[in-house]
Structure 1
């Protein structure tokens, strides 16, 4: 075995003997003092109040039975009740026996700080014990990416992030953990060795990975309140900033008198997406197309001529009167309703009129023939013919006026 290792082992063994010496043993029942005893010569048991002394005696029994955990608990209770710094040295002995070397160093250091009235020999003894345990430990710094996370090493809590300064831990593989509600536990297994400071970083990820979206609306006066909905749920008024799970999200912006608008965006983890939405005023109009099939047909919309044969254009929403007229066709009228943003096509087949002109002409010839026949039948035989000015064979029929 190397000489240095032998020296360390001898020192540890010496420490075990030294730390388990007189202060651990309860003093025998004291006889009524004849004279005032020097405070510095009192045993540890004599320095304790009665309630604390009971726990101290239990700690001694547990220690002698090598029940280190039990003894450690009772010594800690003794200290809490008495605030006697000498008890801390016994606490350190139990921690050393449990191989919690870093804790033992911390406890011994605390004892030195609180034991301002320790005898010089006791102070030096504690310093020597710290020197013996130090090679069995190392120093680490711990960085956590999230604040207010509970940090522990090997299951023992160190505090909440951010952690300032350094921490002493046992050499070997140590498990560092950071926990915080809403985040996945960050765990790092680190082999700690040597006297140099070892940096440890714990990166925490949220349970739900979030990104951010900023919704800004244009085209609307500042006095008009534009409402923002995300994935169908109204969340507030624009401008609006939201932390959302990574993935696709649908944003809808609406305002009185304006057409609502939807936008879908893909948000990345820890990313920022700008959602710029421009609203347009509502237009209460639609598109109307009229087909007649007769090029010369006159089309009126609400008593106003709008075209011949066909018409197409934007019209106000609501009901409209359509009138169509064409020579040789029966006039046609109908009511048409156009909704907001609707495109409506109306086909109107015009019906031709009947051939009344031929009927009137034929009837006129028949009437004329009957009149002529009657005239020759009843005219006097001696009547002289009257010379006419119309060529023979031409018959005129007076029209109805």
Structure 2
């Protein structure tokens, strides 16, 4: 930016010069609460740097003058030096920093001479019309450094809008490990402008390690990307991560970490874990691997049934994979078929094979219905026959007892002979009822036993028990 020359600047320099002459003639001010100078180092060096700064300033070498005045200020805090720094900043176009410098000067030296205070007030009024404020929004990563026109101005997020010189400003946001974000914004004097950052590549940093510090392969969304500890830039969003590899048996038993990934030994792996990655942020994922040196193969009829292991769907049958040692609950299911659940125990370095035949749900329901009908009919006939046996047999027994009482020495009249024939008929009916009841019960039991579901895997089905004791025949069942 072109340097600013004005009568006000000349007046300010003259004011500084007069104050500086007076400072040279006067003895050093005593240090204390009311002192307006704070000594940081060598006062002679402070004066030498101040004089070098003035020489550069007179030659309009404002940047060189600025560096000299700043070195002088480091050795001794002086309002004249601060005033010159503000003037240099104004001349190189850093109006925001010049205004900040004047504000700091007022805080450090609140009792300035009236002429100096008037000059400072006029300069600040002019600078206020040359600056605006800037807010940063959009893809603004926390902790990133904010550069404006290649000058570091702070770290995101900003506590409040930043004071910035008016004009076109180049904005750069940089965070270690990520590509920088850039934009340009036109800052208007006296107004708040907004720098809306838009990332072209929305990536985040994913860091993956194993909790035992084992060196294992890292599988990211089904692809091998390296070994633990691993880190890399990935697209923002959900990712599936799994660790797998080998461990020497001795190292595994001692839970020791190896320096490199093993190529043989006991198989170890972690569960698949979801990692949620946010743009321009670091996501750390620590997974625990465990021994999976046992394999399981699951086949199904019909083929293609869904295989669920320990309440997690793992794929379609036929399925084969390695699992942790111990017991696992395997469920095989398919639409239109009855699901099967099995429990298997896996042992080290052994492969288990599980073959499951699923029953057709409609066929099984039909068979169960027919089974109930057949069993019901059989036992119904049996109960009816036994009922006939009980009634007819009772009546026949009563007739026989009555005839014995009426026919002493078995000498009966023609009337009693007819009663004898009736008792014989009742006895025959009772015998037939007993035979029919026995056949019905036997038929029902046969249907129940011959058509029951295969025992074991699908839980309990219909059951029956039968017995003969004092007083009759007993059948108990569950359907």
TM-score (norm: length of structure 2): 0.42
Larger radius of gyration: 1
Bigger helix share: 2
TM-score (norm: length of structure 1): 0.50
